[in-house]
């Protein structure tokens, strides 16, 4: 049976969320933005009115203001965006249980076998788009194909509110003429290296000898050759946000980074969320792990065993050590994650007579402090209280 795969991609998601609760932003150039260290000071998402002035994601705010002096800038509210993202996923789950969320604003759906229940795949796509518009006041584009890669490529072809099909039989006509940078997964450095090899289009990659690609890119070269020919057999795998085996958080960065201090600040924000959920559920973990995904889509995971904990300070400290040990300034990073696993109900290792009692007192004070912070954030919002190391210069 031929697979039917959708990629649902929300259009200008962050600012679209803001417009859904503030109609005064509609019809005006607007963007979500803030300071570089906290991922603010740069444009995180611009609406289509702002894009008419060539305002782009990751553009510095002062440059955006030069191009469009009247642009309205809105500070990010990531908790709100996560809630809206969950609402989108709930709509998608009406059509299939096989949903793989690729980021906060996009997901693959495997609709193979669902056609008889909900009509043709074109009808399903239109119903999904209309439901998201009517219920959430958000826009999306949908790519349709028989595999995840081509569905993603199709979703990029028409924005906003586009429904596009690219099947394996269409690759030669619709995919091969595109520049290499338009291929999903290829960043600036890979593009530069391919261009230096005389490879300028996706078709050039498809016709390139696999041995040459492998010599230049290692195992990734095989992936480039396979995907450029439209071949992708990877399944749509459900990714639960939480199960009782681990608690983790990750974020795809708005801009690739090589700055370790910036990475550590982002890691601390993620560790705050991991620790807060662990404390809420009364779980401690004895394994801390980090994930680093580079801009060439290679990913590494590193972990370390510690005494069971749910304290943000201890989770972050271990994660920061792993980050420092594995940081490569020559490889730009596009995703960072941290988590704890080997969970159990709250128990801390009993101090021996050789341990200093003062350490246990400090730990209890830290737990009391972090639970107080949790309480304030739950009541007034996550941005109400922050650790000093995560503050930008303006906030300081």
Question: What does the alpha-carbon distance between residue 214 and residue 222 come to, in Å, rounded to a whole number?
Answer: 6
Q: How far is CA 61 from CA 45, 55, 258, in A?
A: 11, 10, 21
User: Using an 8 Å Cβ cutoff, are 76 and 14 in contact?
Assistant: yes
Sheet strands (E) in the chain: 5-10, 30-35, 40-46, 72-74, 99-103, 106-110, 140-145, 163-165, 246-257, 283-294, 299-309, 333-345
- Neighbouring CB atoms inside 10 A of 297's CB total 15
Residue of 389, 388, 390, 378 lying closest to 279 (CA atoms): 378
User: Using an 8 Å Cβ cutoff, are 44 and 36 in contact?
Assistant: no
Please name every residue paired with 87 in a beta bridge, in sequence order, or none if there are none. none
Q: Looking only at Cα atoms, what is the longest distance across the chain? A: 74
Residue 365 phi/psi, 5-degree rounding, is -65, -40
Residue showing tokens 């946000």: 241
The catalytic position among 18, 63, 106, 269 is 106
Q: Is 370 a catalytic residue?
A: no
Question: What does the alpha-carbon distance between residue 308 and residue 345 come to, in Å, rounded to a whole number?
Answer: 10
Show Cβ contacts of residue 171 under 8 Å, excluding neighbours closer than 6 positions. 150, 206, 229, 230
Q: Show which residues are catalytic.
A: 106
């Amino acid at each position: 049976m031929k697979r039917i795969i959708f990629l649902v991609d929300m259009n200008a998601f962050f600012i679209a969320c803001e417009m859904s609760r503030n109609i005064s932003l509609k019809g005006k150039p607007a963007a979500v933005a803030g300071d570089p260290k906290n991922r603010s000071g740069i444009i995180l998402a611009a609406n289509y009115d702002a894009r008419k002035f060539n305002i782009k994601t990751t553009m510095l705010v002062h440059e955006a203001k030069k191009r469009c002096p009247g642009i309205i800038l809105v500070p990010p509210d990531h908790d709100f965006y996560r809630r809206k993202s969950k609402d989108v996923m709930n709509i998608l789950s009406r059509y299939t249980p096989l949903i793989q969320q690729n980021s906060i604003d996009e997901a693959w759906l495997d609709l193979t076998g669902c056609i008889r229940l909900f009509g043709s795949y074109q009808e399903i796509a239109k119903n999904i788009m209309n439901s998201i518009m009517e219920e959430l006041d958000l826009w999306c584009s949908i790519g349709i194909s028989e595999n995840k890669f081509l569905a993603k490529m199709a979703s990029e072809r028409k924005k906003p509110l586009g429904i596009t099909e690219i099947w394996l039989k269409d690759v030669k006509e619709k995919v091969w003429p595109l520049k290499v940078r338009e291929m999903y997964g290829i960043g600036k450095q890979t593009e530069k290296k391919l261009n230096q090899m005389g490879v300028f289009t996706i078709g050039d990659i498809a016709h390139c000898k696999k041995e040459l690609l492998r010599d230049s890119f290692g195992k990734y070269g095989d992936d480039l050759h396979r995907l450029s020919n439209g071949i992708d057999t990877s399944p749509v795998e459900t990714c639960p946000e939480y199960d009782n085996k681990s608690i983790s958080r990750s974020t795809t960065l708005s801009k690739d980074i090589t700055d370790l201090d910036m990475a550590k600040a982002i890691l601390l924000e993620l560790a705050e969320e991991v620790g807060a959920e662990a404390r809420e559920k009364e779980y401690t973990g004895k394994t801390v792990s980090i994930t680093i995904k580079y801009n060439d889509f290679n990913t590494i995971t590193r972990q370390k065993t510690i005494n069971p904990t749910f304290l943000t300070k201890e989770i972050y400290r271990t994660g920061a050590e792993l980050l420092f040990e594995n940081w490569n300034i020559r490889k730009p990073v596009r995703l960072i994650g941290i988590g704890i696993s080997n969970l159990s109900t709250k128990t801390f290792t009993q101090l021996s007579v050789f341990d200093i009692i003062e350490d246990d007192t400090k730990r209890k004070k830290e737990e009391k402090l972090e639970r107080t912070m949790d309480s304030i954030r739950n009541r007034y919002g996550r941005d109400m209280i922050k650790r000093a190391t995560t503050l930008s210069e303006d906030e300081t």
